[in-house]
Structure 1
Amino acid sequence: MIDRNFSRIKRDDTELVHRYVGHLKRATDTVFAYPTLLNRVDVVERFIEADRDGFDAAMVACSGDPGVAEARSIAGIPIVGPMEASLHLACTYGYKIGIVTVEDRSWAEYCDMMVGAAGLRDRLSGVGRISIPSKEAFTSGFLNPGEVAEEIERVAARLVDDGATAIVIGSAGLSVIASTAGLSRLHGSAVPIFDCLSVGLKCTEMRADLTQKLAIPEYSRAGFGTRMEEKDVERLRSLFAIS
């Protein structure tokens, strides 16, 4: 489903390659802090591979943007977090952002935290949770995307009634389902609903272009973005027994 959605929007000259994490398999694990921490190590490993294998840019296919900040400190290519990209893009479409996410309260709170990290606290109208449990949404929901898309739209409509003027889907799985079902705006209105993965892909293409064609750095190397020296990266990898 991800490939079908991406194939509709990617440029003809863009080649997509998937690299998979080695351990975490359940999407429902990512609503907890500890497995999310462990998963970031795997994600960073894939970013390191992408850099060393000569890719032009890379993004993580997760709305939590795991490993993005960490990989930016060691990789020499643009690294994109789809949720960060979607939140900022949504601000160019409407003044108030509403986020639709999964039923899990912990992930809804994490979405709120990401808004704060992006410096967009004043632009957030609210975070709305669907009523379908994640174990259903990410199993039978992939077989019947229309039903889940209807629930996403229902929550989006409520957020718009509460003041949101642009909607971001704060879930990779729900984003895939929404685009598969053709949900990109609130029916009967011109309020956009952003699939964060698709926005992330287009942002990744743009970032690659800016680096290659205008020589804009892959990331600011001042302050927190300062890139570590390779010898220090290898030292740390040895200390933590990372192969």
Structure 2
Amino acid sequence: MRIGIIRVVTTDDAAYLDAHGRIIRAAYGVDTASRCIPDQPNGVHDDATFARAAAKVADLAALMEREDGVDALLVSCAADPGLAEARQRVRVPVVGAGSAAARRALELGRRVGVLDLTRRTPESVTSVLGEHRVAALVPEGVTRTHDLRGRAGVEASIRAADDLVAMGARTIMLACTGMSTIGLAAELAGRVGVPVVDAVRAGAEAAMAAARG
């Protein structure tokens, strides 16, 4: 099985591009192919960048279906930009990391705290969680995915996760795939005392299930 990974952060760094692929290969033993959309070096972090990404994601999905031999595609961004558009363009299943992670969070508990990249939790997440989203926080000093890289971003995320638990969360959902890139779920494991849902892993599991039919 091969999962195609659509990254919404433009990069020419091969290792960074493949970061989510490495996570998925190590966890599940499937093959991956990763590509990124063009001209968005800061990824998706507001309404404007979300809108710009949508058509690019759909175009890239069509290209990857045609050239990469994928069995399913994962839009590796918790906002799920271009998900509906991509599904209209290709025949293979297309999964959004955000909605997949939200569904997984609900399987683990009904009081979900969301660790966000932006002040407004993505609709891909809120539409699934509904009233079960009991709290949402952005790590201090974080406004873009690149802000998560480095120890300061990790420490800010840990503090925010602790705060979510204090606010009543019994499951934490990481609503930014950049948090997967920095290995935040592993940092939080055993520390916060509640399950932590990693969006890349949740998305990969959903994509594999969809590919199997």
Q: Normalising by structure 1, report the TM-score.
A: 0.72
**How far did residue 134 of structure 1 move?**
3.4
Instruction: Confirm whether residue 124 of structure 1 aligns to residue 133 of structure 2.
Output: yes
| Equivalences for residues 79-228 of structure 1 within 5 A | 79-102=94-117, 107-111=118-122, 113-118=123-128, 120-134=129-143, 138=146, 141-142=148-149, 144=150, 146-179=151-184, 182-187=186-191, 189=193, 191-210=194-213
**How far did residue 184 of structure 1 move?**
4.7
1:215: which partner in 2? none
| Cα displacement string for residues 102-131 of structure 1 (whole angstroms, at most 9, x for unaligned residues) | 3xxxx23142x333322x211111111100
**How far did residue 171 of structure 1 move?**
1.0
Count of equivalent residues? 194
Matched residue SS, 1:44: helix
| Equivalences for residues 1-40 of structure 1 within 5 A | 1-11=19-29, 14-27=30-43, 30-40=44-54
**Hey, which of these two has a bigger chunk of strand by percent?**
2
**How far did residue 72 of structure 1 move?**
1.4
Instruction: Confirm whether residue 55 of structure 1 aligns to residue 70 of structure 2.
Output: yes
| Superposed CA RMSD | 2.1
Matched residue SS, 2:119: helix
Q: Percent identity between the aligned chains?
A: 22
Structure 1 unpaired stretches of 5+ = 211-243
**How far did residue 84 of structure 1 move?**
0.3
Matched residue SS, 1:182: helix
Q: Is the 8 A contact 2:98 2:125 kept in 1?
A: no
Distance of 2:142 and 2:125 partners within structure 1: 23
Question: Structure 1 stretches (4+) deviating beyond 4 angstroms?
Answer: none
1:77: which partner in 2? 92
Which structure is larger by alpha-carbon Rg, 1 or 2?
1
In the superposition, relative to structure 1, how do residues 47 and 20 fare at CA in structure 2: closer, same or farther (>3 Å)?
A: same
Structure 2 unpaired stretches of 5+ = 1-18
In the alignment, residue 197 of structure 2 is paired with which amino acid? F
In the superposition, relative to structure 1, how do residues 116 and 8 fare at CA in structure 2: closer, same or farther (>3 Å)?
A: same
| Cα displacement string for residues 56-108 of structure 1 (whole angstroms, at most 9, x for unaligned residues) | 10011211111111111232111000010000001111111111123xxxx23
Q: Is the 8 A contact 1:184 1:194 kept in 2?
A: no
